Amino acid sequence: MFRHNNRAASQIRPVKITRRYTKYAEGAVLIECGDTKVICTASVADKVPPFLKGAGQGWLTAEYGMLPCSTNERMQREAAKGKQSGRTMEIQRLIGRALRSIINLEILGERTIQIDCDVIQADGGTRTASITGAFVALYDAVESLLAQRLIVSNPIRDHVAAISVGIHDGSPLIDLDYSEDSTCDTDMNVVMTGGLDLVEVQGTAEGAAFTRKELDAMLDLAQQGIMELISLQKKAFAADQ
Amino acid sequence: MFRHNNRAASQIRPVKITRRYTKYAEGAVLIECGDTKVICTASVADKVPPFLKGAGQGWLTAEYGMLPCSTNERMQREAAKGKQSGRTMEIQRLIGRALRSIINLEILGERTIQIDCDVIQADGGTRTASITGAFVALYDAVESLLAQRLIVSNPIRDHVAAISVGIHDGSPLIDLDYSEDSTCDTDMNVVMTGGLDLVEVQGTAEGAAFTRKELDAMLDLAQQGIMELISLQKKAFAADQ
Amino acid sequence: MFRHNNRAASQIRPVKITRRYTKYAEGAVLIECGDTKVICTASVADKVPPFLKGAGQGWLTAEYGMLPCSTNERMQREAAKGKQSGRTMEIQRLIGRALRSIINLEILGERTIQIDCDVIQADGGTRTASITGAFVALYDAVESLLAQRLIVSNPIRDHVAAISVGIHDGSPLIDLDYSEDSTCDTDMNVVMTGGLDLVEVQGTAEGAAFTRKELDAMLDLAQQGIMELISLQKKAFAADQ
Amino acid sequence: MFRHNNRAASQIRPVKITRRYTKYAEGAVLIECGDTKVICTASVADKVPPFLKGAGQGWLTAEYGMLPCSTNERMQREAAKGKQSGRTMEIQRLIGRALRSIINLEILGERTIQIDCDVIQADGGTRTASITGAFVALYDAVESLLAQRLIVSNPIRDHVAAISVGIHDGSPLIDLDYSEDSTCDTDMNVVMTGGLDLVEVQGTAEGAAFTRKELDAMLDLAQQGIMELISLQKKAFAADQ
Amino acid sequence: MFRHNNRAASQIRPVKITRRYTKYAEGAVLIECGDTKVICTASVADKVPPFLKGAGQGWLTAEYGMLPCSTNERMQREAAKGKQSGRTMEIQRLIGRALRSIINLEILGERTIQIDCDVIQADGGTRTASITGAFVALYDAVESLLAQRLIVSNPIRDHVAAISVGIHDGSPLIDLDYSEDSTCDTDMNVVMTGGLDLVEVQGTAEGAAFTRKELDAMLDLAQQGIMELISLQKKAFAADQ
Amino acid sequence: MFRHNNRAASQIRPVKITRRYTKYAEGAVLIECGDTKVICTASVADKVPPFLKGAGQGWLTAEYGMLPCSTNERMQREAAKGKQSGRTMEIQRLIGRALRSIINLEILGERTIQIDCDVIQADGGTRTASITGAFVALYDAVESLLAQRLIVSNPIRDHVAAISVGIHDGSPLIDLDYSEDSTCDTDMNVVMTGGLDLVEVQGTAEGAAFTRKELDAMLDLAQQGIMELISLQKKAFAADQ
């Protein structure tokens, strides 16, 4: 298979991370992974959801949306339809779990960090780009809390990033774009920490089922891609100092 | 860790499959996995969703629900709340994908098989019990189509079943009940075919992230459990002849 | 008219009451009236609705639902549709009123008893079966409150049960199944106490209007059926001691 | 009990029926029963609901609403809340059934008569006033179809009217106003035809249950009141000629 | 253009204002402008919305609705549809702003005045009739607060009234009825105070855009009409003394 | 009053128009007016709404949304809330009317142009920026139809652009940013064509009502600003050739 721009099977798309992309949220990042572009913001509110009232800890939650024209065929606006699709809910739950896995909510105190990931252009991998970008927004929001001395130590325990992998004609492929995604038999999203431990593994056979060996090949590829993404997150933080 | 009823770490809960549990749907199964009880039905409609009109193939879709009193604390009724939760949508999408992976929709013809999984008592593993039970309901619905000569060959390609696995204190554990689920660091749902290929792998770190080695141990355990479940599905079919 | 199983015009269908059918709710009953099967639960919450805050009394409310495959033709799931039908609301309001008529809400204290009636198989008379079964679930929930000494005296004043009656070809018929219901000109649901007083009378001419004489004949038949149902409720309580 | 304006126990409130109250609907009636005022319209559409397509008959359906300020305490607007209450649904289903009982839908042809009952001022008995008034609107809509020769014979088989009755301190009382309604132990709505057959009997014990003897006394009173209402409907038709 | 009843281009339709049209709300007015008829009520609640808690001031808000049969073609009931249309929301926001512009919310104290405008018959200009009529209802509600000595001075600073104007064949026309509205290129709603200052100007080119000169001609006409309406409001107040 | 960046009362904020901002929609524009940033897309669908079926003309409709973090305080996501606010509906109706005023829908043929305006950063004037930007997106979508020879002549009759004006301390001010907006007594949005005719005038007194003289001063200022915006639209088109 020839990939767009002669990309190798193990090569992720060019990534661009723009911090402070908008001016209000404490963290506001535009992440571009090839033609997939997502605005990820992290904003802080001085309250927690009812089930945590008085528990002496904070919370982090995420929402996800796509602009109607972010896709090839215009999608119906969820606000107009009056409800979020199952896919949207599934993705925003995934983003929330991924980021909660690397933050110490006790140190955060009785606050909620709200992550918003809004896709302005979609070309495959929007949920993984959202996680990778939202981590940077979270980092900036935490920096802002530290700078204001609202928290005294950093609640972030590790980096977190995500990538998609798939099986095409029996071989593993990383960071699928939209056209590749539809030709793959299996599609897997992997979320890992900076310590290279697994946070989420979500593999789905869209056509033929997959073998343990294929699963292993996909996980190897994913690990390599996530290492690159984490080094790009670090570069984005360094650029700023 | 001592498990309820001295269950071993690798031992699944007792399973009971009752076919023809209710009288209307073409397939209607009560599956009991320990204290988890789910009514799984498969009903056939002579139409396909709009996106498949004229495509010469069928469709299979699934819905999932819980009776308000199926859980320890009564849950709000989704019909009264006016919407399905993200968790519900995620589960019913999973059930649908799992069953579509083993059915040939061309052979099915322009029909829709509607799977309904309704939990009457929940004690962990409701989504995996739903998949394992829904396969039996699907089998019965297909038998009914064959008996009426509405289809000429069997569109089911293979068995499919599902089980949960977790990591507790660093060791893998199969088929978590509700109390175990809340003490595990990692929770993984695995869906496999009769040929022991993977259809879905959904692993989530609830506390600490998990290693590749732990992932492997969980998958080994899951495979063993799914082999047992598939032999129980076979036994249920045989019992009837 | 020949009734299914040679049932006499004044004969109710076989009734089976299974207490403790599920394990979480304080009262949990499966009631089977012929092929109509309803799970009725009564669960207790330590709060009252806003309009009763501080009024020193309790509340009882009911919800009703049907599994999508409980009927001959699969019905759309109300949770997926996003709203309950008018029929559902009417029935759950009726169940709530019927049970409130025999309970002393002052003795109950500031608690709410939530009744849930979920039909797993429908063959006519689901609302009356729900009332008859829910009374047993309520009884068990109250026993549990008494056993825990949360209340000191029994707030239940009397039994309550319900039955449907109709006019077919000018003659009264009791406990209509689905096929009979559609051929009757008049359909009436009657709710009575153990003291044989009326709690609800809901008669509807579906075809020709009915006379006072026909109303009287239906009420006579209903009273006889309800006496039987109440003796079956008593037998269910006795069986357990 | 002294009733407002020294009304006797068996005396209905003054009724005023204004035909052609608004100008668009084929039938448009303001009915005033004491201080209860309802606008009842009947409008004709040249289509039937999907379940009657091609069945060669018509349909009649009803909707009911209350202006937010029609009650003593302003009620929340159902359009703003985004759903109709259970009470609203129950009432509009009752109105529809009552009027369908006296119309021959085959003669109506493939048309739908839409009844709308909108309460502008509520002082008890809004559902029964709606039925009595909607009959007059229906009559006018049918007259309009006849005048345009869209139908050749009159599909209305008989008059229909409705009244509420109750038990207060053991004695029956007719046509309860709002303050009386809240002091009655039993509240019953009765719908009868011009031939004095019963169309609906809906009796509810709000406090103590009621006896067969009380039921009979209420039905006697209701019959007398409905006879008066039907003669007032006839007077309204005559006035116009 | 010949207007209905030979009305001149600058002549408003006959206006009739009926105070105390219904008995519960503190202010309850029926306003008739030609064939447009709107019930406008103002009711007082002893609370303010959350964003004003403790702010030492009151609030005024408005809702608007149309009876399904108020229009030529029956409209779908918004309560049944489950949401208010964009048009409804736009109009009720306009009514609220118009009335808030002439009331001193500090003097009102921690209360909310709820305006409800319900159209019973629509023939163009329902939003402007609503504003003109709602002012009278507001006046009556304020009189009631003063009479009960709940407020010590009158918070109403000035009259407010509204009228529509349009451009037909290049000439301005006032107070468009429904048939005129659809033939006008421009439609403008103007809200003015008794001091003849502007509160709202909402002009919309439905066909050709309009010139500044046409805008001026429309505003001149509107001012004249609003002066008449305000004198009719005054007459309505005087009639009562 | 000193404006941010020493802007003069009659000076609009710096405007930047980026065409082809995203890759799927036929027209896709990022418009920046000071710190207000809106993505405006125009996409073409080969169908018309039901009310135009067979009418031989096209349609144009618009939707508007704000990213949750586009504002100073994070707003609730409308898709999550399950409905669009009255403000959102009002704005999207305004955008649709404004663009329909300058397009010949007959020439467009049986197609719908869907405008989407999504605010990524809001600092006042989002609705006017949306109109000015959406015109550019519409132009590009029409160019694409012409290039594909799907239409043979250009249906766009004229430019259209919009600006806000206000009265601050008695003097007119153009293109209010968020902080200015809240201190102005009057806020007016003006939409004009390239021929300097008026399409919409929406003036609202937020505090004191405004005089005809103030209205005139605002309209003069608006006209000047719109002339500038239209010349910037032209520059954007020219830049591309």
For the segment A46-97, what is each residue's pLDDT rounded down to a tens digit? 999 999 998 899 999 999 999 999 999 999 999 999 999 999 999 999 999 9
Name the closest residue on chain C to residue D219, using Cα atoms: C212
Location of structure tokens 């909607």: D134
CA distance D18 to C201: 33
- Whether pLDDT at D206 is above 90: no
Whole-number pLDDT of residue F241: 54
Read off the pLDDT of each residue in F215-238 and give the average, rounded to a whole number.
97
CA distance E213 to A236: 58
Mean pLDDT of chain F: 95
Annotated binding site of A for phosphate: 87, 125-127
For the segment A84-128, what is each residue's pLDDT rounded down to a tens digit? 999 999 999 999 999 999 999 999 999 999 999 999 999 999 999
> In D, which residues are within 8 Å of C199 by CB distance?
204-205, 209
| Any domain includes B6 | no
Read off the pLDDT of each residue in D156-181 and give the average, rounded to a whole number.
94
**What percent of chain E has pLDDT above 70?**
99
| Any domain includes E134 | yes
Whole-number pLDDT of residue F1: 60
Helix (H, G, I), strand (E, B) or coil at C78: helix
Question: Would you call B200 an interface residue with chain A, using a CB distance cutoff of 8 Å?
Answer: yes
Chain F nearest-CA distance from A83, in A, is: 5
Whether residue B205 and residue A198 make contact (CB cut-off 8 A), yes or no, is: yes
Name the closest residue on chain D to residue C89, using Cα atoms: D86
Half-sphere exposure of B30 (CA within 13 A, CB side): 15
Element housing E60 (H / E): strand E59-66
Q: Give E184's DSSP letter.
A: -
Residue at B14: amino acid letter: P
| Any domain includes C6 | no
For the segment B176-203, what is each residue's pLDDT rounded down to a tens digit? 999 998 888 899 999 999 999 999 999 9
Of B25, B70, B74, the CB nearest to C69: B25
| Contacting partners of chain B (3+ CB pairs under 8 A) | A, C
Question: Would you call D48 an interface residue with chain C, using a CB distance cutoff of 8 Å?
Answer: no
> In A, which residues are within 8 Å of B157 by CB distance?
none
CA distance D68 to D79: 10
Is F87 within any annotated ligand binding site? yes
Whether residue A68 and residue F116 make contact (CB cut-off 8 A), yes or no, is: yes
- Whether pLDDT at C1 is above 70: no
* CATH number for position A69: 3.30.230.70
> In A, which residues are within 8 Å of B221 by CB distance?
none
Of F83, F87, F197, the CB nearest to E209: F197
Residue at A145: amino acid letter: L
Whether residue E197 and residue F204 make contact (CB cut-off 8 A), yes or no, is: no
For the segment A192-205, what is each residue's pLDDT rounded down to a tens digit? 999 999 999 999 99
> In A, which residues are within 8 Å of B195 by CB distance?
209
Of F93, F198, F210, the CB nearest to E215: F198
Angle between helices B212-238 and B126-147 (to 10 degrees): 40
Helix (H, G, I), strand (E, B) or coil at F46: coil
> In C, which residues are within 8 Å of D90 by CB distance?
86, 89-90, 93
Whole-number pLDDT of residue B175: 97
Whole-number pLDDT of residue A206: 77
Whether residue E69 and residue D23 make contact (CB cut-off 8 A), yes or no, is: no
Read off the pLDDT of each residue in E181-195 and give the average, rounded to a whole number.
92
For the segment D30-48, what is each residue's pLDDT rounded down to a tens digit? 999 999 999 999 999 999 9
**What percent of chain C has pLDDT above 70?**
99
CA distance C27 to C236: 13
> In E, which residues are within 8 Å of F193 by CB distance?
209
Whether residue E69 and residue D121 make contact (CB cut-off 8 A), yes or no, is: no
For the segment C7-65, what is each residue's pLDDT rounded down to a tens digit? 999 999 999 999 999 999 999 999 999 999 999 999 999 999 999 998 989 999 999 99
Chain E, 13 to 42: residues with Cβ < 8 Å from chain F are none
- Whether pLDDT at C240 is above 80: no
- Whether pLDDT at B30 is above 60: yes
Whether residue C86 and residue D89 make contact (CB cut-off 8 A), yes or no, is: yes
Whether residue C210 and residue D198 make contact (CB cut-off 8 A), yes or no, is: yes
Top residue of A73, A165, A198, A214 to mutate, by most chain B CBs within 10 Å, is A198
| Any domain includes B47 | yes
N residues, chain F: 241
Chain B nearest-CA distance from A97, in A, is: 8
Top residue of F60, F69, F115, F116 to mutate, by most chain A CBs within 10 Å, is F69
Rg (CA), chain D: 18
Read off the pLDDT of each residue in F115-132 and give the average, rounded to a whole number.
98
- Whether pLDDT at E241 is above 90: no
Whole-number pLDDT of residue C241: 54
| Any domain includes B151 | yes
| Long-range contacts, stretch D233-237, CB < 8 angstroms, 24+ apart | D233/D17, D233/D132, D233/D135, D233/D136, D233/D139, D233/D159, D233/D161, D234/D159, D236/D17, D236/D19, D236/D136, D237/D136, D237/D139
Whether residue C89 and residue D92 make contact (CB cut-off 8 A), yes or no, is: no
Question: Would you call F82 an interface residue with chain A, using a CB distance cutoff of 8 Å?
Answer: yes
> In D, which residues are within 8 Å of E68 by CB distance?
41, 63, 114, 116, 118
For the segment F190-200, what is each residue's pLDDT rounded down to a tens digit? 999 999 999 99
> In B, which residues are within 8 Å of C114 by CB distance?
68, 74
- Whether pLDDT at D86 is above 80: yes
Name the closest residue on chain F to residue A29, using Cα atoms: F69
Name the closest residue on chain A to residue B88, using Cα atoms: A86
CA distance E74 to E95: 24
Whole-number pLDDT of residue E1: 60
The count of domains in chain F is 1
Rounded to two decimals, the ipTM of the complex is 0.94
Whole-number pLDDT of residue C81: 92
Question: Would you call F203 an interface residue with chain E, using a CB distance cutoff of 8 Å?
Answer: yes
Contact in structure between F130 and F40 (CB atoms under 8 Å): yes
| Any domain includes D141 | yes
Question: Would you call E121 an interface residue with chain D, using a CB distance cutoff of 8 Å?
Answer: yes
- Whether pLDDT at A187 is above 70: yes
- Domain residue limits at F173: 15-239
- Among B22-26, B67-71, C202-206, F144-148, which is the least confidently predicted range? C202-206
Whole-number pLDDT of residue F169: 83
> In E, which residues are within 8 Å of F198 by CB distance?
203, 205, 209-212, 215
Annotated binding site of B for phosphate: 87, 125-127
CA distance A67 to F167: 35
Read off the pLDDT of each residue in F88-112 and give the average, rounded to a whole number.
96
Mean pLDDT of chain C: 95
Whole-number pLDDT of residue B134: 98
Read off the pLDDT of each residue in B146-155 and give the average, rounded to a whole number.
96
Question: Would you call E78 an interface residue with chain D, using a CB distance cutoff of 8 Å?
Answer: yes
**What percent of chain E has pLDDT above 90?**
89
Of C23, C63, C77, the CB nearest to B35: C23
Residues 6+ apart with CB under 8 A from D46: D110, D111
A139 vs A3 pLDDT, higher one: A139
CA distance F192 to D67: 40
| Any domain includes D3 | no
In sequence order, what DSSP letters do the residues of D159-210 get, joined into one string?
-EEEEEEEEETTEEEES--HHHHTT-SEEEEEEEETT--EEEEEEEESSS-B
Whole-number pLDDT of residue A155: 97
Joined together, the tokens standing for residue A25 give: 């949220």
> In F, which residues are within 8 Å of A43 by CB distance?
69, 74
DSSP E strand boundaries for D46-170: 59-66, 112-121, 160-168
Whole-number pLDDT of residue B221: 97
For the segment C163-183, what is each residue's pLDDT rounded down to a tens digit? 999 998 888 999 999 999 888
CA distance A143 to D45: 65
Q: Give C46's DSSP letter.
A: S
- Whether pLDDT at D241 is above 70: no
Phi-psi label, residue F117: left if phi above 0, alpha if psi -120 to 50, beta otherwise: beta
Whole-number pLDDT of residue C52: 93
Element housing E178 (H / E): helix E178-181
> In D, which residues are within 8 Å of E133 by CB distance?
none
Give Cα E24 to chain centroid, integer Å. 21
| Any domain includes B108 | yes
C6 vs E235 pLDDT, higher one: E235
**Residue E180 CB: number of other CB atoms within 10 A?**
22
Mean pLDDT of chain E: 95
Question: Would you call A158 an interface residue with chain F, using a CB distance cutoff of 8 Å?
Answer: no
Beta-bridge mates of residue B30: B18, B39
Whether residue B93 and residue A86 make contact (CB cut-off 8 A), yes or no, is: yes
What does pTM read for this prediction?
Answer: 0.92
Of F86, F199, F211, the CB nearest to E209: F199
- Among A214-218, B1-5, B236-240, which is the least confidently predicted range? B1-5
B170 falls in which pLDDT band (50, 70, 90)? confident
